[in-house]
Amino acid sequence: METEWSGNPRGRAALVAEINISGLSFRYAGEQAFEMTLSDFKIGSGQCAAIVGPSGSGKTTLLSLVAGIQIPQQGTIQVGETRVNELGESARREFRIQKVGQVFQAFELLEYLSVIENVLLGSIISSSTTDETRIRAGELLDSVGLGHKTHSKPAKLSHGERQRVAVCRAMLNHPQLLLADEPTGNLDQSNKQNVVDLLIRQAKAHKSTLIMVTHDRSLLDSFEHVIDFGELTGARV
């Protein structure tokens, strides 16, 4: 596979290699049935990319590897100047806290925290909550129309509102990299499009690179680049 990304059916131009993966091989510990290989994979800086592919093709696993949650047995994962696979556990945590924003499939808001505390969760984990981060959290919530619900609990929010809180939480640390794992699951078409638009808008506003995993091909038109993961990887189940 070439150095520049070439698996994009709608690819228009060569991308600056911000995320660069090569010779990747990963298998979950004690799990023999699944193995993912990826010979070469690149996404340019500041781009919004969607990854599609069949279930079990390793889309979510790829996000875990890029975020440094998992470490490959072989190959390199480079995000900007950082070789994620060479970082120790503590450095990978620091990398996630400082450079990565994540939106999970079920949003994973903590029910016992208020909306603004959920947005601040990353800074709470790193014990770095300041007045500045609080103001930023408030601004992010304002920007998605939830400024009046900062002290509500997630249980009091609609599904759409919870999604917006999850996006705000991911954007708090001005992430270089925004990873979204099927954030549109279980939504109607209108809400799906709203979430995608919100993610792209936030990523563009903060100059973040966005990678969104989805199996819904109706959303792909919104992305600059679409990667069909099934064609790229050697995942076997």
Partner 1 sequence: MNGALFLGWRYLIHHRFKTAILLASITLMMFLPAATRLMVADSATALTARAEHTPLLVGAKASQLELVLNALYFHAERPPEIPNQLLDEIHQTGLAIAIPLNTRFHARGAPIVGTNLEYFTFRSLKLADGRLMGLLGECVIGANVARTQGIGIGDSIVSSPETVFDLAGVYPLKMNIVGVLEHTGSADDDAVFVDVRTTWVIQGLGHGHQDLESATAGKAVLSRTDASITANASLVQYNEITTENVREFHFHGDTSGFPLSAVIAVPADEKSGTLLRGRFQEGTVSGQLVIPSLVLADLLETVFTVQNYVILGLIMLSLATVAVITLVFLLSQQLRHGEFFTLKRMGASRSFIATLVASELGFVFLGSLLLASVLTWGVRRYATEFLLSFMTF
Tell me which residues touch partner 1 (CB under 8 A): 64, 67, 69, 89-90, 93-94, 96-97, 102, 104, 108, 110-113, 117, 121-127, 129, 153
Nearest distance from C-beta of residue 44 to partner 1, angstroms: 25
Long-range contacts of 115-121 (CB under 8 A, 24+ apart): 115/141, 115/146, 115/149, 115/150, 115/151, 115/152, 115/153, 115/154, 115/157, 115/165, 116/141, 116/150, 116/151, 118/154, 118/165, 118/169, 119/165, 119/168, 119/169, 119/172, 120/169, 120/172, 121/169
Pick the closer one to partner 1 by CB: 162 or 225. Answer: 162
Q: Phi and psi dihedrals of 56, rounded to 5?
A: 85, 5
Nearer to partner 1, 2 or 111 (CB): 111
CB nearer partner 1, residue 177 or residue 226: 177
From the CB of 37, what's the least distance to partner 1, in Å? 23
Compare residues 39 and 60 and give the one whose CB is closer to partner 1.
60
Q: Whole-number minimum distance, CB 170 to partner 1, in Å?
A: 9
Nearer to partner 1, 92 or 192 (CB): 92
Question: What is the DSSP pairing of strand 48-52 with strand 225-228?
Answer: parallel
Q: Shortest distance, CB of residue 223 to partner 1, whole angstroms? A: 23
For residues 220 and 231, give the distance between their C-alpha atoms in angstroms, rounded to a whole number. 16
Q: How far is the CB of 1 from partner 1 (least distance, A)?
A: 29
